[in-house]
Structure 1
């Protein structure tokens, strides 16, 4: 009961943070970011499908229906799974990947990110001789 109440409060607060105008309605474009802010991991395809179902805006009740959908959400994956994925690009086998290659992977393969999203993601990461330690990168991202 207490956990449900805590979760309800967290959902309400997150929705309110995105409701900058205080109208009780959010533009459909904020749906993916709102879900991710609550620890969900929808793909871009899932977000687009959900956006198609809500019209131009959605309210808190509709958001709760989406958040608590019957088929649930896929887990984000474990650090080891992501590290194994990056190992494919680690030609030297030293735990590092080129910063340019990492950018390419994130913007061109799988669930594509924008250059701006990658810039934000890479803020604060040490680049040594054009290389990023992908073990540290993965653990840091998943800890956020």
Structure 2
């Protein structure tokens, strides 16, 4: 299946990455690996979006159903076409936590937000994300932080 959004080199890379998640050797992956594969390929879908694309499978289906690359590719195309947040969207979202209006948020507060709201992150993920971002007062310049995240 050819996807108009992707070059032949990209398709080859996608197929190779897909194959890395094939734990059984049958050229298929489990439903519960689809989100991880998409993220490994540079996408950032929410788990809710992936579940919708998969047809809202049960927990049992997530763990046991498998799909082929030819079935995965249209899902990747769909995720790739979803609207992405912009720098301004993310900065505006963090501005809510800027109590002093000085372009910074407290690192401790951001840690709580990242660990409790939306798609919750683990402490290890949060530590990795915020490493080197806090100044000596524990504050984070959120515009620089968002630029850093979007560049990774």
TM over 0.5: yes
Report the Cα distance in structure 2 between the residues aligned to 1:46 and 1:81, rounded to whole angstroms.
19
Residue among 86, 94, 102 paired with 1:78: 86
- TM superposition score normalised by structure 2: 0.76
Q: Distance in 1 between the 2:120 and 2:81 partners?
A: 19
Comparing 121-130 and 134-143, the one that deviates more? 121-130
Gaps of 5+ in 2: none
Instruction: Choose the corresponding residue for 2:42, options 20, 39, 58.
Output: 39
1:3-48, Cα deviation, whole Å (9 max, x unpaired): 5212212211221333366442223222112112223232221223
Q: Is the 8 A contact 1:41 1:74 kept in 2?
A: no
Gaps of 5+ in 1: none
What RMSD over aligned residues (CA atoms) do the two structures have, in Å? 2.6
- Per-residue CA deviation, residues 52-93 of structure 1 (Å, 9 max, x unaligned), is 277533221221132134x86423311111011111100111
Residues 1:12 and 2:15 are matched in the alignment? yes
Q: Contact (CA 8 Å) 1:41, 1:73: kept in 2 or not?
A: no
Separation of aligned partners in 2, 1:99 and 1:85: 15
Matched position secondary structure for 2:67 = strand
When normalised by structure 1's length, the TM-score is 0.79
**Count of residue pairs brought into register by the alignment:** 142
Moved more, 28-37 or 52-61: 52-61
Provide Cα deviations, 1:87-120, integer angstroms capped at 9, x if missing partner: 1100111211111111122122233333333223
Q: Report the counterpart of residue 66 of structure 1 in structure 2.
A: 75
